[in-house]
Chain A
C-alpha cells in the first residue's frame, strides 16, 4: 500500500492535478451550475468553456516561460509587455496609423506576421542579453518590462487603435460554425506543436541538460548559449501569439491593459505545474494544467466577490507557498525536523 501511495505522489503531474481538482471542487460548491453546458445557435456555452477560453493566452505564455525557466533558471517578466507590443504593431499595420478603421488597410496576414515578428524580436533581445551578455534573466527582461508598454504606446500614438472589422475578431471569438472559441484551438495547437517538436527532436533533451548542468552539457557537445537564446526568442514569439489573441478579443490595441499582470500568472503556472524554478527537467503538460488551474482559481475568486484588482493577493500567497515548499533550505529543515521527530518517537517507544 505504501509503495503504491509513494508512486502516486511522486508521479510528476501529481501536484498540478491535485491543485486543479481542488479548485474545480471549490468552484462546483460555489457554483452548482459550474459544469453545466448548453448549446445555443450551434455555440457551446458554460462556465467551463469560459475558463478554458480565457486561459488560452496564459497557457501559451506558460509554455514559453517553462522553457525559459528550464534552460536558464530565470524568468522572463517582459511577456505581458511584449504582448502589448505585438498587439500594437499588428493594429498599426492593419489601421495604417489611424485610430479607428472599419476595414483593413493592409492584408490581415501581414498584421499577424508583424505581430509575430515583433514578439520574436523582443524575445531575441532578451535572449541576447542573457546568453551573450551574461546578464541575470530577471534584470535583462526588466528592460522590456519597463519600456515595452511605452513602445507600444508610441506605436499606437498614445491612443487605443480599434480595428472594427468582423473578421478580425475571429481570432478572439468563435469562427461561424465552430462551437468553441478560436483561442482554445490556438492554445491547443501551440501546446501540441511545441510538445511534438521537443519530443521528436533532441531539443527537449538539450534544454533539460543545459538547465541541469551547463558545463557537462558543453563537454558533450551541446551549445548551451544557443539553446538559452532559443528559449527566450521562442518565449517572445509565443508572447506575440498571445498578444494577437488578446488584441482580437477586444479588437483593439490597448497598450496599457493587454497582458497586464500576466507575468506572475505565467510564473505561477510553471511553478504550479511541478516545474522547479531552478531549471532542469520540465513538463509542458504540468504548466498547462497549472495555467488552467489558475484561471479556474480566478473564476472562483470572482464568484466569491473578489474583484480583479484584489486577486493578486491570493496569487502572491500561493506563489510563496509553492516556492517555499520547493526551496532547499525548507526541505533541509523538514528533514531535520522529521528525523528529530522520528528519534523522539523511537525513544518514547522504548
Chain B
C-alpha cells in the first residue's frame, strides 16, 4: 500500500530560506549602495563576525533553550556580570587571566543550573525565572563595582588584540599600504562553539531529546524520555554558552561596567527567531541563528556607513523584523491547524 507522499511544506526550510535570502539581499544591497565607501571589502564582512562573535555564541545558547519551548532573557545581564567579574578578578583581586576565565565558566554553569532547576523541576514559567535572573545579574554587576574597571592584565589583552591575518584577500590601498584582512581568536572560538553545538543537537541523544521535548512534552514523557533532566541540562548548556559569550564580549571591550550589554538578550532572541527558531519550540537550527545575527550585524553596518541615522534605528529595524517573523510563525501555525481539521 503506497500512501501518497503529501507535498511536504517544510516550514523549517521555508523560514531558513527566507532568512538566508534576506541576509544576502541586504548585504548585496549594502554593497551596491555603499560601493564607493568600501562596503564591498572583505574586512567589512569579517567585521560582522568580529563584532558579533559573542552574540553568535549567545544566540546558539538561546536557540537550544528556545527549542525546548523556553526562553532566557537574562543573557545580556549575565554577560555584563561576566565582564565585571573578569575585570574585578584580574584588576582588583589579582587573579590570573586563565583563573578568572575558568571561574566565569563555572559561574555560567551554576547560573544555568539554578534557572534550569526552577523551570524544569518547580515548573515556573521560564520567562519569570529568567526575568528575575536578568535583574539579579544586572544588580550583581553593580554590587561588584559601581565604577567602570578597565582591564590591564597583559595576558588577557594579548588575547584580545592578537590579530590573525588571512592568507588571502590582501591588497594595497590608495596610500600604498598593504592591507591584509584579519580576524580575532574570538571569531574562531565562536565558530568552533557553533559547530560543536550543531553536532550536539544533530548527533547526540541529548540533542534529539531537546527537540523531542520541544515538539511535544507529553509525547516525550510517554516515550520514556527524561524530560526534566533534559530541560535542566539545556539551561545549564545555555548558561555555559552565555559564559563563553561573556568572555568573548569582554575580549572585545576589555572592561567591565554596569550598563554593558544592555539589550543583548533581545538581539539574541531576534537572531534565533529570524534564523527560523519557532517560539513554540521543537524547531530551531544554530546555523539559522548565525544568519539571524549576521542580518542584525548587516543592518548595523548599513547604519554606520550611512552615518546620519541614529543607532536606535538598528533596534527598531530588528524589532520590526522580529515582529514580522513572529507573526509569520503564528500564521503558519494556524494555517497548519486549519488544514488538519
* Chain A residues at the B interface, C-beta cutoff of 8 Å: 75, 77, 129, 133-136, 138-140, 142-147, 149-151, 153-154, 158, 261, 263-264, 267, 277, 307, 309-317, 319-320, 323-324, 327-330
Contact = CB atoms under 8 A, between A and B. Distances in A.
A313 B326 contact: no
B188 interface: no
B196 to A, nearest CB: 28
7 contacts: A139-B71, A142-B322, A143-B326, A146-B322, A150-B312, A154-B316, A320-B129
A91 B237 CA distance: 46
Interface string B121-148: 1111101110111111011111100100
Given A150-B312, A309-B139, A313-B136, A135 B326 contact: yes
Given A77-B131, A264-B131, A136 B279 contact: yes
Given A142-B266, A146-B263, A312-B136, A329 B313 contact: no
Nearest to A77: B131
Given A327-B122, A327-B123, A143 B322 contact: yes
Q: Is the interface of B mostly helix, strand, loop or mixed?
A: helix
B136 A316 contact: yes
B319 A150 contact: yes
Contacts of B133: 316
Contacts of B36: none
A138 B139 contact: no
B204 interface: no
Given A153-B312, A267-B131, A329-B122, A313 B143 contact: yes
B310 A154 contact: yes
Contacts of A261: 135
A261 B263 CA distance: 12
A110 B9 CA distance: 51
Interface of B: 71, 118, 121-125, 127-129, 131-136, 138-143, 146, 258, 263, 266, 269-270, 279, 310, 312-313, 315-316, 318-320, 322-323, 326-327, 330-331, 334
Contacts of B135: 261, 264, 312-313, 315-316, 319
Contact of A139 (B129, B139, B320, B326): B326
A313 B140 contact: yes
Given A75-B128, A313-B143, A319-B135, 19 more contacts: A138-B125, A138-B127, A139-B71, A142-B269, A146-B266, A147-B319, A150-B319, A158-B312, A261-B135, A264-B131, A277-B128, A307-B142, A307-B146, A315-B135, A319-B128, A320-B132, A323-B124, A323-B128, A328-B123
Contact of A158 (B128, B266, B310): B310
Contacts of B310: 153-154, 158
A253 to B, nearest CB: 14
Contact of A329 (B121, B134, B266, B318): B121
Contact of A147 (B127, B139, B315, B334): B315
A279 to B, nearest CB: 12
A138 B71 contact: yes
A301 to B, nearest CB: 10
A139 B136 CA distance: 21
Nearest to A306: B143
Nearest to A147: B319
Nearest to B143: A310
Contacts of B136: 312-313, 316-317
Contacts of A145: 266
A228 B146 CA distance: 42
B139 A324 contact: no
A214 B52 CA distance: 44
Given A133-B327, A264-B131, A150 B315 contact: yes
Nearest to B133: A316
Most chain B CB within 10 A, of A312, A317, A329, is at A312
6 closest residue pairs by CB, A with B: A313-B139, A147-B319, A309-B142, A312-B135, A312-B139, A316-B136
